[in-house]
Structure 1
Amino acid sequence: MLSIAGLLFLLLQSWLAATVVRRVVGVPIGWPRSIMVGFIMSATMGLTVQYLFRAATDQNTNGLNVAPAVAVLFLVLAVGWIFALGVGALVFIEAAFPTGSLPRFSSLFTGWKARRRRTRRYSDVVAIAVRHGLGSRLRGFGNGDSTEREAKTARALRNALNEAGVTFVKLGQMLSTRQDLLPETYIRELQTLQTKASPEPWERISAAIKERLDRPVAEVFSDINPIPLAAASVAQVHQATLLDGTSVVIKVQRPGALDQVNLDTDIILRLAHWLNKTTPWGKSLGVYTLAQGFAGSLEEELDYRIELENMRSIEHSLAVSGNFSVSVPHAYPEFSSERLLVMDTLPGRPVSSAGTLLAGLNAEERSALATTLLGATLEQIVSDGVFHADLHAGNIFITSEGTLGLLDFGAVGRLDPATQTALGMMLYSIDKNDSAGATDALIELLDRPDTLDERALERELGQLLTRYRVGFGPGGSQKMFGDLMSLVIAYKFAVPAQIGAAFRALAAVEGTLQIIDPTMDLVAASRAEGSRLMADRFKLGSVKDELEQRAMQLLPLLNRLPRRLNKITEDLEHGRFNMNVRVLAHPSDRRYLTGLFQQLIVAVLAGSAVLGSIMLITSNEGPLLTGQIHLYGVFGFALLFGGFVLGMRALMLVFKRDVDA
């Protein structure tokens, strides 16, 4: 019973010591490490008390023996220094392994199965990276590399992502749109990533169809072809026939694909969270936000109910427009589910394998097809705000009648009206050679940097427009878009996720257009199409509707305006008019200055205490407590204790500030 009481007292003492240490350090620190340090401090204090008790009672045969009063003084000093060393140990641990960078203590006893799967997957991914020569490059890419080595590393990264599976392929495809984050060499390689896989055995696919159809297969389909039309890492597509004889295709998610994607996404989010928490560059780049956006978009892409809604939205917008002959397969929501999608068969062949069909078309027909595809894409982006974000050659079909069709609506982007207008105005300004308008549209479109020189940006953008004003031949469009993106990167603009999706759609459709019509000048066609779309907005009826909408928004302000003007004029007449300007009105500004002054004051006090303690310790003045120890020396060690603790607090505040920066 006495042992249990002693253990409980030691635990209580450890908790109390940990609480005081956390308070002194001044920043949130994990309880497990604080309790551990507190336990060691308590144990050390217990041994120190026993030793000094024997010293005060002359029981140390070959050690220190002093008067009881001196022993008490030494005890106070020893307890203080044990506490100071505990603070120092905690600061060192926190600097080396910040709170949150290690697994929680409770995780040692839970989640072993998930952790084992995650560890096995970690090992697989690292092995793939090392096998492709990325082992020495895991700490970063492109730091002072030669062009040849950078190209080699980019190829290795692409191959590693491709081998790692669908989640990492999708991650690479997302990064391929972030030219503001990665060098051009990596962008080119990542844009070639495509998800391909060997077909799943029909027995497993058949069972998955039956499970996700939630009814007997014979009640819906009269026939299903067991040989897949296409196979990717996540899904397979099979030809089928409904009971009424309608030819359809079934897109079914592979069994286990969702679990694999969730596991890989969890790994990516954990890594991004660690980088965001422990590195200044990770937080400045918004690594965790990027990973969350990627995880959210991938989650939507794996939910076929969302893909079905995307199909219906784009089908409706194309039907309402009526400007372009582009078909979208009709989907059957009554037969579809979260992991199963049933839709009409899209006739024709994908552009990627329609070489014979294209060769049979003359130049005018191929040009008309390319113009239709570009016009439909820009109209989706600029006018509708809902657009197909993955327009590579495998997702665009050409029918034998010479019309176009779209497929695979898992990746669909959405733009708000203001962004649509900004994109249209940029294309319109480029077409009119208006550098000021293009600059304003670009600033409205992207996230403006804090230190933007608008005049310099306008001059460089004007030079870019002048250089390409007269047009150019095939392939020149890539040069202009590349120069425009280089300008965006040079001025440190951030590209929002949905704008990145629009850029990705345009980049993908450019490659498809070059297959359909290699002679097409994409920039010239984009300028003309953008000018047409904005001209529709500038029609009298459209402008009238816009003015009416803005007038309705101004009505509340206009109603209050006379009363406010009357009050201002009365205040001016009677000398009561005044203006109040508050310096440091924002709480974040006040917190910043408060923290800065706290660091300065703590650092000055720590330095002063250390200097004073050195003077006292090295002094030979004052009464002797023992044969060799002066009283002033004891006071010096006490003052040094205060300086040490304050120094540790200042150091911890610096570490915390670096992480939060």
Structure 2
Amino acid sequence: MNDTVQNTVKGFLRIGQTVSVLASTGISWVAGDRPPPPRLLRQTFERLGSTYIKLGQFIASSPTFFPPSYVEEFQYCLDQTKPLPFTVIQRILDEEFGDRLSEVFSHVDHVPLASASIAQVHAAKLVNGDDVVIKVQKPGVRNILVTDLNFLYAGARILELLAPKLSWTSLSGIVEEIQKTMVEECDFYKEGQNLDEFRAFLNATGNTDVVVPKHYEHASTMKVLTMERFYGVPLTDLETIRTYCSDPERTLITAMNAWFSSLTQCDFFHADVHAGNLMVLRDGRIGFIDFGIVGRIPKGAWKAISDFITAIMMMNFHDMASAMIRIGVTHTEVDIADLAADIQRLYKKMDRMVPNADSQQMYTDTLNEAEEINTILMDLVKTGESHGLHFPREFALLIKQFLYFDRYIHLLAPDLDMFMDERLSLVQ
């Protein structure tokens, strides 16, 4: 049986499995088990597996597309999943490297460092002695993703035909965006290229204080990504950071300048700078890890986004409103003055939410951090949408990273002003 036939059979089996789970959920609903719709959908997604878990994470990080109640509920759709037995990982390594395996790796730890919906990460050692981590794609994930997302796309198109009023929300367009994002995450060649491109950007800008893991191309395939292993702590571990470097504020400024510079000097920006993906290494350098999710700003949109950032720096709410109108898509006339007034009210609310210097425990809890960031982001998006604006996901991704950095500032450098400090490249 050739691969095409096998994939077709697996596709039909996957559709059958999906229908079975949906039918079971429907029967439970009829029988009286009726949690709130957002919770019901999250629980169903978790039963459906990897594609839907990733879809749940997409919903959690995309308030530009989904209602607040769903964005909040899917914060619980965590990326940590039950690890696969090492026998499965070993089989994948054998399939990917064949007889070369013993010539590439001298050892692979059997206990994973992490297990997510798409891949599992193990520590390993190359034959040359280098310590590495290997990101191993779980079996059948790509085929499941394609099958599930084609199924969702067909359903979205049917729903749009039956309910034309939904055309403004463009459900099929959302599914296409999700498909592009998820399938790209399954392409470890692409993630390896992202690592190489970001390193080239750092070299071109002469930045030796920031590093990304070395990508070992000879030890990588479409389903296995081998990277240099970093030893350090998350950017929020202030106590340990102080043992690595004498000036945590300078460390944060270094990380922020590298990211700010990437907005204009690199083809993409790191679109997931939560605490786990920014490390302070033992030698004091900053390590950016996990380039599976990146954002790309179209050239035509950058001017409006740049104006939005400048307006924030100047505390000019009218110009912020004007830039938001140019960034978003609208079918109605938007009153700039009204939008500016609402943004100003939101800004005051955000200012009251700033934690004090003693609330460090919040920063060690990634889930709490993500929840608060998304709450603020949802409020900003909701403010725009209340005036008839609909924003591209890239805008939400960009603003979300700014909110992450704002939180790091309040922990590591409470006197730093992100939009006024001349040490930051954003204001130069």
TM-score interval, normalised by the smaller of the two chains: 0.7 to 0.9
Equivalent residue, structure 1, for 2:81: 197
Q: CA 1:303/1:259 → structure 2, altered by over 3 Å: closer, same or farther?
A: same
Aligned to 1:318, which of 199, 202, 211?
Answer: 202
Amino acid at match of 1:282: L
Equivalent residue, structure 1, for 2:122: 238
**Shift of residue 160, structure 1, vs aligned partner:** 3.7
Q: CA 1:483/1:264 → structure 2, altered by over 3 Å: closer, same or farther?
A: closer
Contact 1:276/1:287 (CA < 8 Å) preserved in 2? Answer: yes
**Shift of residue 463, structure 1, vs aligned partner:** 6.2
1:528 aligns with 2:420: yes
SS across alignment from 1:394: helix
**Shift of residue 429, structure 1, vs aligned partner:** 1.4
Aligned residue-pair number: 405
Q: CA 1:376/1:192 → structure 2, altered by over 3 Å: closer, same or farther?
A: farther
Contact 1:426/1:442 (CA < 8 Å) preserved in 2? Answer: yes
Equivalent residue, structure 2, for 1:493: 389
Structure 1 stretch 219-228 or stretch 456-465: which is displaced more? 456-465
Query: Aligned equivalents of 2:399 and 2:421: distance in 1?
Result: 16
Aligned to 2:321, which of 439, 453, 473?
Answer: 439
Query: Aligned equivalents of 1:349 and 1:131: distance in 2?
Result: 45
Query: Aligned equivalents of 1:301 and 1:331: distance in 2?
Result: 16
CA deviations over 1:25-80 (Å, ceiling 9, x no partner):
xxxxxxxxxxxxxxxxxxxxxxxxxxxxxxxxxxxxxxxxxxxxxxxxxxxxxxxx
1:127 aligns with 2:127: no
Contact 2:54/2:117 (CA < 8 Å) preserved in 1? Answer: no
TM-score (norm 1): 0.54
Contact 1:428/1:534 (CA < 8 Å) preserved in 2? Answer: no
TM-score (norm 2): 0.80
Contact 2:14/2:144 (CA < 8 Å) preserved in 1? Answer: no
Structure 1 stretch 205-214 or stretch 183-192: which is displaced more? 183-192
Amino acid at match of 2:240: L
Amino acid at match of 1:412: V
Equivalences for residues 34-113 of structure 1 within 5 A: none
Query: Aligned equivalents of 1:276 and 1:530: distance in 2?
Result: 50
Contact 2:234/2:278 (CA < 8 Å) preserved in 1? Answer: yes
**Shift of residue 128, structure 1, vs aligned partner:** 5.2
Q: CA 1:208/1:129 → structure 2, altered by over 3 Å: closer, same or farther?
A: farther
Contact 1:385/1:420 (CA < 8 Å) preserved in 2? Answer: no
Amino acid at match of 2:398: A
**Shift of residue 472, structure 1, vs aligned partner:** 5.7
SS across alignment from 1:420: helix
Aligned to 2:95, which of 208, 211, 214?
Answer: 211
**Shift of residue 132, structure 1, vs aligned partner:** 8.9
Q: CA 1:258/1:175 → structure 2, altered by over 3 Å: closer, same or farther?
A: same
Amino acid at match of 2:354: P
SS across alignment from 2:219: coil
Contact 2:21/2:44 (CA < 8 Å) preserved in 1? Answer: no
Larger Rg: 1
> Whose relative contact order is higher, 1 or 2, with alpha carbons under 8 Å and at least 6 apart?
2
Query: Aligned equivalents of 2:194 and 2:399: distance in 1?
Result: 19
Q: More helix per residue: 1 or 2?
A: 1
Equivalences for residues 141-156 of structure 1 within 5 A: 153-156=37-40
Q: CA 1:216/1:159 → structure 2, altered by over 3 Å: closer, same or farther?
A: same
Equivalences for residues 480-519 of structure 1 within 5 A: 483-506=379-402, 513=408, 517=411
Amino acid at match of 2:392: P
Percent of residue pairs identical: 24
CA deviations over 1:577-607 (Å, ceiling 9, x no partner):
xxxxxxxxxxxxxxxxxxxxxxxxxxxxxxx
**Shift of residue 181, structure 1, vs aligned partner:** 4.0
Q: CA 1:303/1:128 → structure 2, altered by over 3 Å: closer, same or farther?
A: farther
Equivalent residue, structure 2, for 1:405: 287
Aligned to 1:415, which of 297, 300, 318?
Answer: 297
Query: Aligned equivalents of 1:315 and 1:401: distance in 2?
Result: 18
Equivalent residue, structure 2, for 1:643: none
Query: Aligned equivalents of 2:208 and 2:125: distance in 1?
Result: 29
1:118 aligns with 2:12: no
1:276 aligns with 2:160: yes
Query: Aligned equivalents of 1:227 and 1:214: distance in 2?
Result: 22
Aligned to 2:240, which of 357, 360, 377?
Answer: 357
Amino acid at match of 2:297: L
Amino acid at match of 1:450: T
Amino acid at match of 1:183: P
Query: Aligned equivalents of 2:164 and 2:199: distance in 1?
Result: 45
Amino acid at match of 1:527: F
Equivalences for residues 600-615 of structure 1 within 5 A: none
Query: Aligned equivalents of 1:159 and 1:355: distance in 2?
Result: 36
Query: Aligned equivalents of 1:274 and 1:530: distance in 2?
Result: 53
Amino acid at match of 2:384: V
Which runs of no fewer than 5 residues in structure 2 stay unpaired?
A: 1-7, 357-371
Query: Aligned equivalents of 2:138 and 2:13: distance in 1?
Result: 23
**Shift of residue 303, structure 1, vs aligned partner:** 0.6
Contact 2:253/2:423 (CA < 8 Å) preserved in 1? Answer: no
**Shift of residue 300, structure 1, vs aligned partner:** 0.6
Equivalent residue, structure 2, for 1:380: 262
Query: Aligned equivalents of 1:351 and 1:163: distance in 2?
Result: 34
Which runs of no fewer than 5 residues in structure 1 stay unpaired?
A: 1-110, 138-148, 537-661
Q: More strand per residue: 1 or 2?
A: 2
Amino acid at match of 1:198: K
Aligned Cα RMSD in Å?
A: 3.7
Equivalent residue, structure 2, for 1:454: 336
Q: CA 1:295/1:134 → structure 2, altered by over 3 Å: closer, same or farther?
A: farther
Query: Aligned equivalents of 2:27 and 2:258: distance in 1?
Result: 44
Query: Aligned equivalents of 1:509 and 1:169: distance in 2?
Result: 26
Amino acid at match of 1:502: L
